[in-house]
A and B are shown apart, each in its own frame.
Chain A
Amino acid sequence: MTSAEWPVYQVFERPAPERPLRAAGSVHAVDSDMALQNAWAVYGRRPTAVGLWVVPRDRVLMKSKEELAGFSPRLEAGTDREQTYCVFRRSGAKVVYEQATSVLATNAEQAMARAVEQLAGEDCQACWVFPAAALISSEGVGGECSFAPQQHKWFRDHKSFPVGALLRDARAHVEESDDDA
């Protein structure tokens, strides 16, 4: 039992209020509550994160550029009900996956096909889709966050470590003592 790997959850962060989410990385956890807690410990340390989402990796369909080029989705009509899928993509020279849109689909392959169709004409280097129902979010309905964003950590503030000014001051002292000599 001890050698069993904990499942992997993809982590997404909201860098500022009202901004789209972007992929942050992943965590291992035994369930989604623990995944959100671990995500906060790893990806919520910085002042930037004001909201986090986690989703089990096995629910995320990932397609790279080459895979998208050869992608032929199974589009036979299923009996499943349509549900909302979140779509993240990489575009242009950016390497970070960002929230692009959402689509309605009965399965992940169909969601991927619809996402690619919807983003047609836009630059799409790689794409991820997952059902909105699979995610657990730190954000409530009103957008409030279940953890306190770390906005006031002085030790995360460059101004707290004014090494440029300190070195200039050291230089001024050296020049002063040279003048005295």
Chain B
Amino acid sequence: MDQQTRVAAFEARIARGETIEPGDWMPDEYRRQLLRMMSQHAHSEIVGMLPEGEWITRAPSLKRKLVLLAKVQDEGGHGQYLYDAAESLGATREELIAALHSGRAKYANVFNYPVPSWADVGMIGWLVDLAAILNQSMLAKCSYGPYARAMLRICSEETFHKKQGQEIVITLARGTPEQKAMAQESLNRWWWPTLMQFGYPDSESPHTATLKRWGVKTKSNDELRETFIREIVPELRLLGLEPPDPELRFDEASGRWLHSPIDFDELKRVVNGDGPCNAARIGARIKAHEDGAWVREAMLAYSSKHELSEAGA
């Protein structure tokens, strides 16, 4: 079969709604795009543990501490699900982690911002996790089996995270004036980075059309971004919180939400390593990896000794 016939057969499978598994034929570009997306996604989960992890020892009550611990642990688990999916395309865990540490692999922009207040923990849970859910529930229906399976598991857990964050923000917004001000100040800092999290505008996303045809994405970045705004703004306003955008309004005529332009130069800078916390985040990952090296060596030594004694028995 020549390349053209193979691609046509592949696209016909996608059009029939079939799911592709690792042993099936796929275009090189499909493999490349999926590997890029899954690696980026896995790294985002792992790096995403760091900003919220800073608050585990400072959570305001035992209940909050338990919830936060479970959430950060969930994110570690999500990273494992996604590394597993990425490995199905032949990447090794070592290569994936090395690419993160060297800065070659990217991860979500939002985790490169500081988390100076407790309200940030609520705001990350509500805004960042809602944005993630919109993207992930789309990917749970994607055409690549291992990615779809990872997403199904993640979505059901992510729903908790969003509710947990939202509950923190509601409590603060309906609390003392100081608490409400804390929530507003946090919203001011997280609003724009969360809108950027959906990625570059459709006009600058050259892969979207192909990814849609191959059943990887079903919605564009701008479509998901608008769904997010439509869902969250009325709820924020109900709590007396206002996103930091004087142009933000619902336009009755077009039925759409209008907002000021998003600073995509900032997104580019932060994704490429020049955000407020990039160095700290990657530094923490490298340190954890290096500090754990002796444990990995000990485990391997234990297993080879075990095998030897079994062979000798």
Contacts and interface: CB of A to CB of B under 8 A. Distances in A.
Q: Say whether A and B bind each other.
A: yes
Interface of A: 1-6, 8, 23-28, 30-31, 34, 41-43, 45-46, 62-67, 90, 93, 95-96, 125-126, 153, 155-156, 158, 161-163, 166-167, 170-171, 174
A95 B149 contact: yes
A8 B152 CA distance: 22
A31 to B, nearest CB: 5
Nearest to B171: A166
Given A5-B93, A45-B73, A95-B152, A64 B170 contact: no
A167 B173 CA distance: 11
A62 B87 contact: no
B299 A30 contact: yes
Nearest to A168: B238
Q: Specify the main secondary structure of chain B where it touches its partner.
A: helix
7 contacts: A2-B300, A28-B93, A42-B77, A66-B24, A95-B19, A156-B70, A170-B174
Interface residues of B, number: 51
A96 B153 CA distance: 11
Contacts, number: 114
Interface string B290-308: 0001001101111100100
B197 interface: no
Contacts of B20: 64
Given A2-B293, A26-B84, A155 B23 contact: no
Contact of B87 (A26, A64, A126): A26
A63 B232 CA distance: 44
Nearest to B235: A167
A6 to B, nearest CB: 8
A171 B94 CA distance: 51
B25 interface: yes
B297 A2 contact: yes
Contact of A64 (B24, B153, B157): B24
Interface centre among B18, B19, B25, B297 (most CB of A within 10 A): B19
Contact of B300 (A1, A64, A158, A174): A1
B149 A96 contact: yes
A41 B81 CA distance: 12
A1 B166 CA distance: 46
Nearest to B296: A2
A167 B238 contact: yes
B80 interface: yes
